[in-house]
Structure 1
Amino acid sequence: MFDHLREDWRTYDRQLSRQGLWVMAVYRFGRWRYNIRQRWLRLPFSFLYKFLQKAMEILTGIELPCEVTLGRRFRIDHFGGIVISGDATFGDDCIIRNGVTVGLRYTGQRGAPIIGNRVDIGAGAKILGTIHIGDDVAIGANAVVLQDVPANCVAVGIPARILSRKNREVEPSDEAQIAKNAGPASEVLV
């Protein structure tokens, strides 16, 4: 836990005033408590985590449950209105901004997005459903992503159109070629 907290401290430029850092500290504490094997010993830590998590949600507007799988150097650039499903998975060096939702597409249906490495998610973006986002992807502000996004692409619009980095729309037949050249989005599993 302390190694992760030190890395988070560096990720947030050693600024204690960053709300994302507060949320990450509570997230790391929540993950750490699962290392306590005896339930009766873990119980007070679980109570403290639930209290701290709710306090962070109220203070920052960021819902980041400890069940989320985060890669290294996860960064919340702006706070407020961020909701992340406990089933979501993020790779390394991901950045999210205010108003982002990463989660379930339908109520009562399990499965959340798997997001690759170095993914930049713009303000207000919604990434929903059991989809894969490849490495080095940019999700535009207010985009609604409901389908897989191959590596090295940009997703913009409602619903999101997938563009290659050369600013042309990716046709369904092109997606296979991009995935072949850049590595399939299905290999993004963290």
Structure 2
Amino acid sequence: MKLLLSDLRAKQVLYGEGGPPVSLLKVVLADGTLANALYRLQAWLARIGLAPLALIPHILNKWLNGCVIGVKAQFGPGFVLIHPVGVVINSSVRGGRNVWLESSVVIGENRGGFPRLGDDIFVGSGAKIIGAVAVGDRARVGANAVVLHDVPAGHTALGIPARMRPPRAN
């Protein structure tokens, strides 16, 4: 329950960026919240050794939200599915705190290697992160980018295949 609450708080921060604060009720009723809740339920069931039962919320997420997240995929607090439709995440994927995903994002394994995402990550609509790549803290992956190599901390990955853009100097 703590993880789900942290996810909702992170979504509240996202929705309040650049404007007035957003109520928790609005966040609960927003697109993606049910997908987040079902993911957290399946992850909890798998963590306590009830992996077969975890398939129930997994299948519900697929049917109701068009979102497939592997039963053993792990994300830290602040995980946000902004728009869950088309999101596909392999069971081996590991993500840190405050990972925010738009629609149609694919994070998948390739030849036994799987992505690892750091903290404070944003992944735009339609992006693909494939194979044994690391996405560093505070990195961004642009819409429709195809990431096949590591993304350094603070960089933005853009294009097909993705090229790295360094952070802006202040």
Q: Could you tell me the TM-score, scaled by structure 1's length? A: 0.74
- Which structure 1 residue ranges, 5 or more long, are not aligned? 168-190
Aligned partner of 1:11: which letter? A
Structure 1 runs of 4+ aligned residues shifted over 3 Å read 34-37
Residue 139 of structure 1, aligned match among 138, 141, 150: 141
Residue 164 of structure 1, aligned match among 152, 163, 166: 166
Q: Could you give the per-residue CA deviations for residues 106-151 of structure 1, whole angstroms, max 9, x where no partner exists?
A: xxx2221001111111110000000111111111110001001111
| Cα pair 2:4 2:77 within 8 Å, conserved | no
Larger Rg: 1
Q: Secondary structure at the match of 1:127?
A: strand
Deviation, structure 1 residue 36: 4.4
Partner of 2:29: 17
Q: 1:148 to 1:35 in 2, by over 3 A?
A: closer
| Cα pair 2:38 2:58 within 8 Å, conserved | yes
Q: Secondary structure at the match of 1:159?
A: coil
Q: How many residues align?
A: 156
Q: Does residue 84 in structure 1 map to residue 78 in structure 2?
A: no
How large is the RMSD of aligned CA atoms in angstroms? 2.0
**Following the alignment from structure 2 to structure 1, what is the Cα–Cα distance between the partners of residues 8 and 128?**
27
Q: 1:142 to 1:50 in 2, by over 3 A?
A: same
Partner of 1:183: none
Q: Could you tell me the TM-score, scaled by structure 2's length? A: 0.82
Partner of 1:153: 155
Aligned partner of 1:161: which letter? R
More helix by share: 1
- Which structure 2 residue ranges, 5 or more long, are not aligned? 13-23
Q: 1:155 to 1:58 in 2, by over 3 A?
A: same
